[in-house]
Amino acid sequence: MPMIGWQEMIIILVIIMVILGPKKLPEVGKSLGKGIREFRKSTGEIKEQVTGVEKGPAETPRADAG
């Protein structure tokens, strides 16, 4: 499978900017960010269910003197 180079990425971004326009682009970016955030959250929850390990605050070591 061929990789996309930086020249192709620039062309794709320019085409997207022309199609969507400057006013619609921030909205698309915002919704894309929300979608990625939700995807990461759900995959994290699935990993927790599968492994049975929950992420919590880091435990600090106890300072027991002798």
- State residue 11's pLDDT score: 93
- State residue 60's pLDDT score: 57
What are the Cα distances from residue 47, in Å, to 6, 23, 24, 28, 35? 33, 38, 35, 28, 18
| Average pLDDT rounded to a whole number, residues 42-57 | 80
- State residue 29's pLDDT score: 86
Residue 5 φ then ψ, to 5°: -85, 175
Mean pLDDT score across all residues of the chain = 82
- State residue 3's pLDDT score: 84
**DSSP H or E run through 40:** helix 25-51
SS3 content of the chain, % helix, strand, coil (to 5): 65, 0, 35
| Average pLDDT rounded to a whole number, residues 28-57 | 86
| Average pLDDT rounded to a whole number, residues 12-31 | 88
